[in-house]
């Protein structure tokens, strides 16, 4: 599989990664043994970026990944995150610098590895200046516990403040044909700062694969509360999917492969991380990395599946976190969209 660089500090990964969250939460019951087989198959196919977080399943996801990494550590680029805490008290954000090393050490223990390749702040803590959290993350790099640092779902201002403290290899955010708002702010800012782009939900939480049945929507915590999957918004979005499927059929590929190829064509600094619990989907997604689409294809997509044709805003799908109404700069927070704690 093609290799891509994230950031300017030498982080190299496969063009397509694997988002592990759904193997522990969000999309219904899972089978750990089958999840391990799926992840091993991904490594066999050349997928190196394995993306997890301490919050996924309350640590379950990292422990699951440890089974896959045993004996195959050198094949993987391990990305994990801290900052969203799930425990008996519910869900909260914690980016306090005094806690960062403890979270990293706990993740290392669960993963069964000595160093984290890419360590993300999962969400900025409204109670802590982001520069302080990133400063503590930089200490992990100097201590040899972490190779590169990243940020997830941050504003442009937060990204700029973080980069002023330490080089940031990657920023993670929702981006797909279905959700293109980051193209207006985060994407150009990251490129100006030399930060790689890691889109999660690149298949639109399954909608862009054209295989999602409407009666499956309410079985998922991550679709049930999302307006894009209900009512008139869903009707409009399904019309877009029909057009997308027709284009994919003309090209002799699946709709999901076309959605991934579209993202990959947006630049060599883009590494989407689709997730799946099925072996055939791993093979399909991996094959999508080799499907080049040209400017003519991109223009056709823009004409027949326009950005303006998608309907519905993102909505938070987790319990609210109480926080001051300020952003990382101390200015009033700008929340154009609800941020779901995935």
Residue 247 lies in a domain: no
Residue 154 lies in a domain: yes
Note down the domain range covering 68. Answer: 3-206+254-292
Q: How many domains does the chain have?
A: 1
Q: How would you label 1-39 residue by residue, b for 16+ Cβ within 10 Å and e otherwise? A: eeebebbeeebebbbbbbbbbbbbbbbeebeeeebeebb
Residue 327 lies in a domain: no
Residue 329 lies in a domain: no
Distance CA 24, CA 222 (A): 13
pLDDT average, residue stretch 292-296: 88
Instruction: Calculate what percentage of the chain has a pLDDT beyond 90.
Output: 72
CA atoms 261, 15, 4, 187: torsion sign: positive
Model confidence over 193-202: pLDDT tens digits?
A: 999 999 999 9
Q: How confident is the model at residue 1 (pLDDT cuts 50, 70, 90)?
A: confident
Q: Do the Cβ atoms of 158 and 151 come closer than 8 Å?
A: yes
Q: Please say if the pLDDT value at position 210 is more than 90.
A: no
Q: What is the pTM of this model?
A: 0.88
> Catalytic site residues?
56
pLDDT average, residue stretch 229-233: 78
Residue 43 lies in a domain: yes
Residue 166 lies in a domain: yes
Model confidence over 138-158: pLDDT tens digits?
A: 999 999 999 999 999 999 999
Residue 330 lies in a domain: no
Q: Please say if the pLDDT value at position 301 is more than 90.
A: yes
Looking up residue 126, the CATH number of its domain turns out to be: 3.20.20.100
Residue 237 lies in a domain: no
Distance CA 30, CA 24 (A): 7
pLDDT of residue 322: 37
């Amino acid at each position: 599989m093609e290799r891509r660089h994230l950031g300017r500090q030498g982080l190299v990964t496969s063009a397509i990664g694997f988002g592990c969250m759904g193997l522990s939460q969000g999309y219904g019951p899972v089978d750990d043994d089958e999840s391990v087989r799926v992840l091993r198959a991904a490594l066999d196919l050349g997928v190196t970026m394995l993306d997890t977080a301490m919050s996924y399943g309350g640590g379950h996801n990292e422990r699951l990944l440890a089974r896959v990494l045993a004996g195959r550590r050198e094949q993987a680029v391990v990305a994990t995150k801290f900052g969203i805490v799930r425990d008996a008290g519910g869900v909260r954000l914690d980016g306090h610098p005094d806690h960062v090393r403890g979270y990293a050490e706990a993740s290392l223990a669960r993963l069964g590895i000595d160093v984290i390749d890419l360590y993300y702040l999962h969400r900025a803590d409204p109670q802590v200046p982001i520069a302080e959290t990133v400063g503590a993350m930089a200490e992990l790099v100097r201590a040899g516990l972490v190779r590169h640092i990243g940020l997830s779902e941050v504003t442009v201002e937060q990204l700029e403040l973080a980069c002023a403290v330490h080089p940031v290899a990657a920023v993670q955010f929702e981006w797909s044909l279905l959700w293109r708002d980051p193209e207006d702010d985060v994407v150009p800012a990251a490129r100006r700062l030399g930060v790689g782009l890691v889109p999660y939900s690149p298949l639109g939480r399954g909608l862009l694969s054209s295989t999602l049945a409407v009666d499956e929507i309410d079985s998922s915590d991550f679709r049930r509360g999302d307006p894009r999957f209900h009512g008139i918004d869903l009707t409009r979005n399904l019309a877009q999917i029909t057009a997308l499927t027709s284009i994919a059929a003309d090209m002799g590929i699946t709709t999901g492969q076309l959605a991934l190829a579209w993202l990959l064509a947006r630049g060599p600094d883009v590494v989407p991380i689709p997730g799946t619990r099925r072996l055939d989907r791993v093979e399909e997604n991996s094959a999508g990395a080799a499907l080049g689409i040209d400017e003519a294809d991109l223009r056709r997509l823009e004409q027949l599946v326009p950005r303006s044709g998608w309907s519905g805003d993102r909505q938070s799908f987790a319990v609210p976190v109480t926080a001051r109404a300020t952003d990382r700069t101390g200015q009033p927070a700008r929340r154009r969209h609800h941020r779901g704690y995935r």
